[in-house]
Structure 1
Amino acid sequence: MSAVPNYHALETAERATAFGLLCSARLLAVAAVGGFPCATDLGDLLRWWGDGGSDLASPIASLKSYSARFPYHDDIESPDYYRSLTVDLALMSIDQGEEGPADRARRLMFMATGAWSNLDHIITRCDAAKRGLREQEVESQILDISMIVADAGVRPGYLASLERCRSEYQERARCLSEVSSLLGWGDMRRR
């Protein structure tokens, strides 16, 4: 089992936000299975935040609306669980709230890692040799943190990690196609 990522290094709000958005970006590979109308808005938020854009009101409003309509629930075999969690991770990432940045990063880290652990559990039913999504997530989180804190400016490290997420997207999507067929997610386009 991997070590716990050093979330304590994410002591600024900007670093914690970058970290949480990257966790959400990786879960987008799961949320998009079977169709996900918020995928474009989430993609816009991820990209625009990294570019330093200030016009995030439209994607944030869309994601908040989705979150209100389809709240996070606990059925780990439903695509809606991953869709809602992905949206909520993004919204929690940009919400400064009252907790400190490292505490927020810790909460986001465990939420994302838990989702990948759930997927490992589901995949085990198909082929135990294909487990390892949780470990991949933890390794990605460790790399994210090192890239985010490497420079004085958070956004270059964030953008490099976001690009890495995009390159890993196809690999994760292939693995998740088994989950999709096992659980019948392919026909789930209602949200």
Structure 2
Amino acid sequence: MAEKTFRNKIYWFTFLFSVLVIWVHSYNAVLFLGNTKSAASLVRLERFFGDRIAQIAVPGFFMISSYLFFRGYRPEILMRKWNSRIRSVLVPYIVWNSLYYFGYVIGSRLPYISDVIGKGKIPFGLPETVDAILNYTYNYVFWYLYQLILLILLAPLIYLAVKRVWPGIAFLAVLLAGVYLGIDLPLLNLDALFYYSFAAFA
């Protein structure tokens, strides 16, 4: 596949998944139509797409990220891959979490705005800053980037687990069983690990 064609497909899939993520977070039929029959019908439609079809978005993003990381991957280019993700994933994660935290700190000390925020006076100090940046304390939607960073760090181990067909299938089967059984891992979401590993295997 030509590089331009490949990139265009990635852009279109990314656009589609972005639209689906927005859909999941934008149920608003009742807001505009009130508790009416027409609103009830629209709510059912919103829920059908949001709770079923749109749920492919986050797994899709994990799989695209994994496929791009492992495309042409060899152990000797690991540092190059990591350096690229520092710029595209880690730096935005740190910058945006910092901006959100400092925005909350400042806003919680301003009249009227503090009432809108509704969190009281946000504590400011080195431990609180580190916690806010590392653990996306004030920017909850960044749970995805947090998981992605962990998966990128684990990429060499994932590669070892899936680089051969039958061990890879066994590894994915174990992960899928863990997801089905509801097993929780410290820090890392098991379903995210499964999606990322599946795309690496593919």
Identify, as 1 or 2, the structure richer in helix.
2
Fold similarity call, TM over 0.5 = no
Which has the greater radius of gyration? 2
TM-score (norm 1): 0.29
TM-score (norm 2): 0.28
